[in-house]
Each structure stands twice: as structure tokens, then as C-alpha cells.
Amino acid sequence: EATDLAYLAHRIGQVRELGRRLEARQVPFLRPVGGHGIYLDVRRFLPHLPAAELPGQALVVELYREGGIRTVEVGSIMFGEGTPEGREPLELVRL
């Protein structure tokens, strides 16, 4: 399936369309859009949540609770080291 060019074109097209829709709604994410997912910029999306409250993980939980959307946090929880201040350079959520 993953080597079928028609399937790949369709899948990549779905991700690009999601990117267009998120951009139209001014949801902050990293560009360019990838072929397998979109990375939300959680610090810009939830600026009111301090790093100590793990905003990436908070967003992952709420997306699942509210919409059944399975995502993954890429930042403080995944890498767990960060800077001396306890922050990862990026706080992302992959859709």
C-alpha cells in the first residue's frame, strides 16, 4: 500500500488539504506540510499555558477527549530533557 503511487498521492493530498484548512483558520503549524502529518506549534497555539503545565500533552489529551483525534506530543514529554530551564526547543503536536 505505501508503495502504491496513487495511494501516496492521495494521502499526501489529504495532509496538504488539512494544512490549507488549518492555515485558513490561522492555526499555527510548522511549514512546509509533510507527507505524513502536520506539526502544530503549541507555544503559539496555547501561549497562556506555561511550559511547566506541559501544553503539548494538554493539547493531545483535549484533542482525544473532545474529538477522538489521536495525536502525539513532540517536546517536553517525548524528549524529557530540554534546556536548563526545563524547556524543549520546540513544543509540537503531530496530527
Q: Over 80: is that where the pLDDT of 56 sits?
A: yes
Counting the structural domains of the chain, the total is 1
> Residue 81 has what pLDDT?
62
Residue 62 structural domain? 5-94
Asked if 75 and 42 touch (Cβ cutoff 8 Å), the reply is: yes
pTM for the full model?
A: 0.86
CATH number of the domain encompassing residue 76: 3.90.1150.10
Asked if 42 and 95 touch (Cβ cutoff 8 Å), the reply is: no
pLDDT classification of 89: cutoffs 50, 70, 90: confident
Asked if 38 and 94 touch (Cβ cutoff 8 Å), the reply is: yes
Residues 6 or more apart whose CB falls under 8 angstroms from that of 10 comprise none
